[in-house]
Structure 1
């Protein structure tokens, strides 16, 4: 063998070794995913829901998966979170369905007034509707990881304590969804749609008189600093989603997919999000009282007036869905069935 040929063969052999080592090293590389959160870093959703979920999934992956959290709308606005997951701007996102009105029509059944008794039960109801197949077509653009709901919303204002329906008349109230906007109108208020990050300044400047928020989000966006009066109403809540980019999901090794699936669904939405949120919200109300805020619970008779005034929302919702060719009544009846099952199981 000539020296020239020997050198060529030797170089090829060394290159194959290097390539083999490189391939082996790449196979051992940790997969890193980006998770987008539109709320501030210290918000309950980040510290008590997303971060514990990340820790659990990373641990169960035995170091093969890392998830980096990007809070505070770093990767995109609140209204863009679903599309960010669909397009791959982020690998995983969470967001409120109410920020894109009309896009998830059947899922809004869970936003009907007083339908969800708590964050835990509401989250289970929403997830089971999806698992039963009623909502799957609405999330076909992504790999849906879970649906969930926060604790029910109360009314928080900075000018006066609202004790009756008449007190709400003419007040400008921030709404998180089209459904809640309709309910506010039924109660005589003026709905103002705003994403959560704009609540503080809008209250401070008087653009709005009050907000419907769950206690945890109230604290998370610091709206407690610009409201003094809190009326306990418990009027359900917006539905939120956890979604992954479908191509990202398809590229994951089966063992990583298995880990993520194991800790998604009701585990993420209800067992982590719902159970913890329901307990934490009670603590928030105590803190508000200790800080000298007025926290008022509507008497049963007055609360019934609010419920009666909002009751037409159910028939209106069914009619809107049926007019679109969607099984509105079937979905609503299934939601009632899940609610009865879950409440009776307590």
Structure 2
């Protein structure tokens, strides 16, 4: 099926013809079509994102309601978000950064393997890179970037015993972008690209031996039912964001734009703090330890992270992540890696 036909089918099936109308300037309540995170990803979607859009008019102070649906309830792949936005099918999207990086490699500059080993560094990456990314998304996909937030450190879950990265040699490992795939190859694993919703079954059936995601998302989706070990070494921060179609954004008055941006700034800051709380709690829950207040208790072996593996991931930025990504990104967006070095590279000391 061609992409055009696919998008047409989605549009027809979901009756997504309502966009932001000229009534935005009046005080009529306008319904914005919003694509949310997969419900399967857990508590950030459930406790922060969905309530924000459910109470959208109050949160923004604007006469807009949000027709919010999680992406997994819409029948759209999370790799197609930029395409459906460009086609005008939605007004706002909860953008999955790595998953859409094949359509726009510039996105991945926000989340290179090893570039953000902790929340403080991840925030530096976001603040230094968001303007360049916003400009690129506006130009290529006609969407305005409203903010970026992290699910948190993406760690390893395996159904076979592991004590260090080298133990992944010969194992099939679920990945979600090409940068992570290249890193897994470098330590001897075989990367297997899978969407989040496919992972539980794939682990259960032995399609993969290990999989990478955040501790809280793994807990919410019951990955510890089908794995035995967790290795809390963060490879990436699983950056996600909010973007609005330029068609919808440009129909807002300057005051409305200011209120809209302020509301998303508040939401994003709230998620940054919540994500950090969830991460440590979920690591405890997955291993059946206290305190465990946000998730379900399981009995995973919590493997101590070696200093050598931390160093391997840290060095991967300059030796693997940046060169691999730069080659791809510069082909579609000349000057892409140079812009990254001037912004993110300068902020985190990588050239």
TM-score by length of 2: 0.78
Residue deviations 1:62-121 (CA, integer Å, cap 9, x gap):
462221321252232212222222223222112323223443323322332221133464
Task: Report Cα offsets for 1:246-293 as digits up to 9, x if no partner.
Answer: 22223345443322111235x443x12222101111110111121321
Distance verdict in 2 for CA 1:218–1:254, change over 3 Å: same
Q: 1:226 to 1:122 in 2, by over 3 A?
A: same
**CA apart distance, 1:215:** 1.1
Tell me, what secondary structure is at the counterpart of 1:83?
A: helix
In the alignment, the residues of structure 2 paired with residue 139 and residue 62 of structure 1 have an alpha-carbon distance, to the nearest angstrom, of 25
Distance 1:72 1:108 in 2: 20
Runs of 5+ unmatched residues, structure 2: 1-22, 289-297
1: CA distance, partners of 2:250 / 2:315: 48
Picking from 286, 289, 302, the partner of 1:295 is 302
What SS is found at the alignment partner of 2:299?
coil
Number of the residue aligned with 2:57: 58
2:175 corresponds to 1:175: yes
User: By how many angstroms is 1:147 displaced?
Assistant: 2.5
* 2:32 equivalent in structure 1: 33
Decide whether aligned partners of structure 1 residues 95 and 198 sit closer, same or farther in structure 2, where only a CA change above 3 A counts: farther
2:343 pairs, out of 329, 334, 337, with 334
Aligned counterparts of 2:329 and 2:105: Cα–Cα separation in 1 = 7
1:302 deviates by: 4.1
Distance 2:39 2:204 in 1: 18
Cα distance in 2 for residues equivalent to 1:309 and 1:28: 52
The correspondence of residues 218-233 of structure 1 with structure 2, limited to 5 A, is 218-233=218-233
d(CA) in 2 for partners of 1:90 and 1:119?
31
Is the contact between residue 109 and residue 332 of structure 1 (CA under 8 Å) also seen in structure 2? no
CA contact (8 A) 1:61 1:259 kept: yes
Does the 8 Å CA contact 1:120/1:274 hold for their aligned counterparts? Answer: no
Q: Could you tell me which residue of structure 2 aligns to residue 165 of structure 1?
A: 165
My pick for the range that moved more, 210-219 or 68-77, is 68-77
The answer to whether the 8 A contact 1:96-1:240 is kept is yes
* Paired position in structure 2 for 1:280: 278
Equivalents in 2 of 1:125, 1:309: separation in Å? 16
Distance in 1 (CA, whole Å) between partners of 2:143 and 2:313 is 37
Counterparts of residues 130-209 of structure 1 (less than 5 Å): 130-131=130-131, 133=132, 136-140=135-139, 141-160=142-161, 162-209=162-209
Distance in 2, matches of 1:147 and 1:104, equals 16
How big is the shift at 1:149? Answer: 2.6
Q: Is the 8 A contact 1:196 1:221 kept in 2?
A: no
Judge conservation of contact 1:57–1:259 (CA < 8 Å) in 2: no
Helix, strand or coil for the counterpart of 2:145? Answer: strand
| Partner SS for 1:35 | strand
Is it true that 1:304 corresponds to 2:311 in the alignment? Answer: yes
Closer, same or farther: CA 205–315 of 1 in aligned 2, 3 Å = same
Deviation at 1:188, TM superposition (A): 0.5
What's the secondary structure of 1:207's corresponding residue? Answer: coil
Q: Unpaired segments of 5 or more residues in structure 1?
A: 1-23, 341-346
* Count of paired positions: 312
* Deviations 1:196-218, CA, capped at 9 Å, x for gaps: 11111111111111111111221
Larger Cα Rg: Structure 1 or Structure 2? Answer: 1
Q: Tell me whether 52-61 or 146-155 shows the greater mean CA deviation.
A: 52-61
Which residue does the alignment assign to 1:44?
Answer: 43
Shift of residue 168, structure 1, vs aligned partner: 0.5
- The whole-number CA distance in structure 1 between the counterparts of 2:330 and 2:284 is 43
